[in-house]
Amino acid sequence: MKKFLIVGLGNIGSDYQNTRHNIGFKILDALALKNEITFETLKLGDLARFNFKGKTFILLKPSTYMNLSGKAVNYWMQKETIDTHHLLIICDDLNLDFGIIRIKNKGSNGGHNGLKDIQQVLQTVDYPRLRFGVGANFSTGKQVDYVLGDWQADELKQLNERIEKAGEAIISFGTDGLNHTMNNFNNK
pTM of the model: 0.95
**Helix, strand, coil share of the chain (percent; to 5):** 45, 25, 35
Give dist(CA 32, CA 42) in Å, integer.
16
- Strands of 2-8's sheet in order across: 40-42, 45-52, 55-62, 2-8, 87-93, 129-133, 101-104
Q: Please tell me the predicted confidence (pLDDT) of residue 144.
A: 84
Q: Please tell me the predicted confidence (pLDDT) of residue 136.
A: 82
The number of folded domains in the chain is 1
Give dist(CA 9, CA 67) in Å, integer.
10
Give dist(CA 163, CA 23) in Å, integer.
8
Give dist(CA 53, CA 28) in Å, integer.
19
Give dist(CA 138, CA 71) in Å, integer.
31
Q: Please tell me the predicted confidence (pLDDT) of residue 1.
A: 81
Q: Please tell me the predicted confidence (pLDDT) of residue 67.
A: 92
Q: What is the CATH number of the domain that holds 162?
A: 3.40.50.1470
Give dist(CA 105, CA 173) in Å, integer.
11
Sequential pLDDT tens for the chain (188 residues): 899 999 999 999 988 888 999 999 999 999 999 999 999 999 999 999 999 999 999 999 999 989 999 999 999 999 999 999 999 999 999 999 999 999 999 999 988 999 999 999 999 999 999 999 998 888 778 888 888 888 988 899 999 999 999 999 999 999 999 999 999 999 77
Give dist(CA 24, CA 90) in Å, integer.
5
Confirm if 101 and 185 have CB atoms less than 8 A apart.
Answer: yes
User: Structural domain of residue 130, as residue ranges?
Assistant: 2-185
Alpha-carbon distances of 157 from 98, 151, 185, rounded to whole Å: 12, 10, 21
Q: Please tell me the predicted confidence (pLDDT) of residue 78.
A: 97
Q: Please tell me the predicted confidence (pLDDT) of residue 140.
A: 79
Q: Please tell me the predicted confidence (pLDDT) of residue 159.
A: 95
Q: Please tell me the predicted confidence (pLDDT) of residue 100.
A: 95
By annotation, the residues acting in catalysis are: 21
Q: Is 58 helix (H, G, I), strand (E, B) or coil?
A: strand
